[in-house]
Amino acid sequence: MGMLSWNEILRPGSFRDDRLRRRALVLLDAILERPGVSFGEMFGKGSSAAKRAYDFCENDRVQFNSLLVPAFLNLGAELPRQESGPLLCIQDSSELDLTRLTATTGLGEIGNPKNRGLFLHCGLVSTVDGLALGLLSAMTWVRPPEEHGKARERHDKPLEEKESVKWWKTMVCAERAVGRRGLLVHVADRESDIFDVMARASAEGFRVLFRAAQDRRLVEGEHARLWAEAESWPVAGRQSLEIPARPARNGKPAREARRAELTVRFGRVRVAQPDRGQGFLDLSVVLVREENPPPGDEIEWLLLTTDPIATAQEAWERVRWYRRRWLIEEFHKCLKSTCRAEARQFEDRAHFEVCLALLLLVSVRLLYLRDLARREPDLPAELVLEPDELAVLRAHHEDSVKRVPMRATLSVAIRFIAMMGGFLARKGDGEPGFQTLSRGYTKLRSMVAGYRLALGRATPADLTGDFPLNIPRRGEASR
């Protein structure tokens, strides 16, 4: 399915006052066109449109949840109608560093006592091929200063009193929105390896695919511990994986491109409840490991799932699904770098969170648009771009060595738009990212507005900056 339009995500009735819904739609369109700028830059400093944007975020009738929950429910209602499944609901957390906003109230500690901000946890739904479709859950929280240094006490608390309840709440929110058990597979990294969360998911019939962090005690089996048991199983299959080069960053050394030879093992285990509890949990386990890896850069994933796994093909399928987890890392990158969520200035946490809710919806859309061209490269560009946009795009590149073909595909058009934003499009440059695509499309829209003004047929959107971007309707992206 294609991504829902803004009007479908926030349908009539999503707000008690429909004027607020209409204002939200205007803001979503405006942010999508210029995602990295403030409302003042977007609409003009001191303009009535900029004032209305800030008024919307500071309106007591609009909150983070009241804006996003209708979006979750509307998307969730549509997914079972359009998708037979499975779909991946990928979870992860991120910190929003708002330390520089010294006057903002309602913030808490992040990272260390000197940093202030919010924690964010989202459930991003995607196809198994890795095309983001939207959000099914999002939550924020702060750590009060009095909680600093109490991490050791967490083992004595019930799940509902721990931050780790986020994994369970996200599953419940997503499943309620979709309303069909078995459609979603909940994917998460090592932090999610929590017995209580997996036990609750199993009891409710939720499908999970978590990466193991704990070498758990087993109730039965040849070995007493999880890792030793998985390593004792015979190799069920081998595959090659191309590992791309990576520059040195965030304290990690540079990595050269290589071909990794992977083996997979799988089986079934009965995991014992921690702290010598009497309970147990039956799980399928997939161990994928690189043979002869370079020192310090080996691949090894021990995956836990509530799904039964009977064949090597099913085991490799779970490995491919888990690899899609990196999509939510890209989502958070878009939120912070392209949409510049941490640069938004509000004096109250609640007002910041309304703006954050808008940025979350826009970030998913940008992720979708970037990846749609990669996964549907032959999709006609006319399904996404307006005729005037294509005409101006062709005219802009008319004198270039590379010209936009008359029957341009979406992937070709996206590359030419990104070139307007600084993408060099050399042979080894790969595909354009958020930054160049966003800058290029902003420049293209400004040129389209001037083009229409010169022809005497400017639209209200050209004069206000509220430019619509056509999103392929459901089914169009797969034709």
> Each residue of 424-474: pLDDT tens digit?
888 777 888 877 887 788 788 788 888 888 888 766 555 554 445 555 544
What does the alpha-carbon distance between residue 67 and residue 53 come to, in Å, rounded to a whole number? 14
How sure is the predictor about 147, in pLDDT bands with cuts at 50, 70 and 90?
low
pLDDT over 50 (residue 167): yes
Share of the chain above pLDDT 70, in %: 92
Task: Lowest mean pLDDT of 42-46, 128-132, 175-179, 329-333, name the range.
Answer: 42-46
pLDDT of res. 44: 86
Task: Tokens for 63, please give them.
Answer: 């909150």
- The confidence score (pLDDT) of residue 443 equals 83
pLDDT for residue 22 is more than 90: yes
The 10s digit of each residue's pLDDT in 202-255 is 999 999 999 999 999 999 878 899 999 999 999 999 999 888 777 777 667 777
Distance, in Å, from the CA atom of 81 to the CA atom of 178, rounded to the nearest integer, reads 10
Can you give the pLDDT at residue 466? 47
Confidence of residue 293 (pLDDT cuts 50, 70, 90): confident
Is pLDDT above 60 for 9? Answer: yes
Domain boundaries defined on the chain? 1-147+162-189+325-375, 214-311, 376-478
Dist CA 29 CA 277 (whole Å): 53
The whole-chain average pLDDT of the chain stands at 88
**Least confident interval from 102-116, 303-317, 374-388:** 374-388
Instruction: Report, as an integer, the average pLDDT of 313-328.
Output: 96
pLDDT at 204: 96
Q: Where would I find the H helices in 257-311?
A: none
Total count of residues recorded for the chain: 479
Across the range 123-150, mean pLDDT stands at 88
Residue whose C-alpha is closest to residue 244's, from 435, 430, 418, 414: 430
- Cβ-contact 285, 318 below 8 angstroms: no
- Count other Cβ atoms within 10 Å, centred on residue 398: 9
- What's the pLDDT tens digit per position in 58-113? 999 999 999 999 999 999 999 999 888 799 999 999 999 999 988 899 999 998 77
Class of domain 376-478: mainly alpha
pLDDT value for 479: 36
Amino acid at 310: A
